[in-house]
Amino acid sequence: MVYQRVEDIPKEKLPVHIGLIMDGNGRWAAVRGLPRNAGHKKGTDTFGKLMKHCREIGIKYVTVYAFSTENWKRPKEEVDALMGLLRNYLEDTFKHQEEDARICFLGDREPLSEDIKQKIQKVEEASRRNTAITINIALNYGGRDEIVHAVKALAHKCMQGELSLGQIDEEMVSNHLYTAGQPDPDLIIRPSGEYRLSNFLTWQSAYSELVFLNVLWPDFTPADLDMAILEYEKRDRRFGGI
> In this model, does residue 175 exceed pLDDT 60?
yes
Per residue in 54-63, pLDDT (tens digit) is: 999 999 999 9
- In total, how many domains does the chain have? 1
Q: Which of 8, 71, 115, 145 is catalytic?
A: 71
68 is in an annotated binding site: yes
**Does 26 belong to an annotated binding site?**
yes
**pTM given for the model:** 0.94
The 10s digit of each residue's pLDDT in 180-219 is 999 999 999 999 999 999 999 999 999 999 999 999 999 9
* DSSP secondary structure letters along 99-157: G-EEEEEES--TTS-HHHHHHHHHHHHHHTT--SEEEEEEEEE-HHHHHHHHHHHHHHH
Taking residues 71-94, report their average pLDDT.
Answer: 90
Q: Tell whether 72 is in a known binding site.
A: yes
Q: Give a yes or no: residue 119 inside a domain.
A: yes
**The pLDDT of residue 96:** 57
40 labeled part of a ligand binding site: yes
The rounded distance, in Å, linking the Cα atoms of 116 and 105 is 12
For residue 125, what are the domain limits?
13-143+184-234
Q: Is residue 75 part of a domain?
A: yes
Instruction: Clarify whether 169 is annotated catalytic.
Output: no
Within-domain flag for 56: yes
What's the mean per-residue pLDDT of the chain?
A: 94
Domain assignment present for residue 25? The answer is: yes
**What letter does residue 185 receive in the DSSP assignment?**
P
| From 23, 145, 184, 186, active-site residue | 23
Which pLDDT value is given to residue 237?
A: 84
Q: Which has the higher per-residue pLDDT, 240 or 70?
A: 70
Identify the CATH number of the domain in which residue 56 sits.
Answer: 3.40.1180.10
186 is catalytic: no
Query: How far is the C-alpha of 17 from the C-alpha of 33, rounded, in Å?
Result: 36
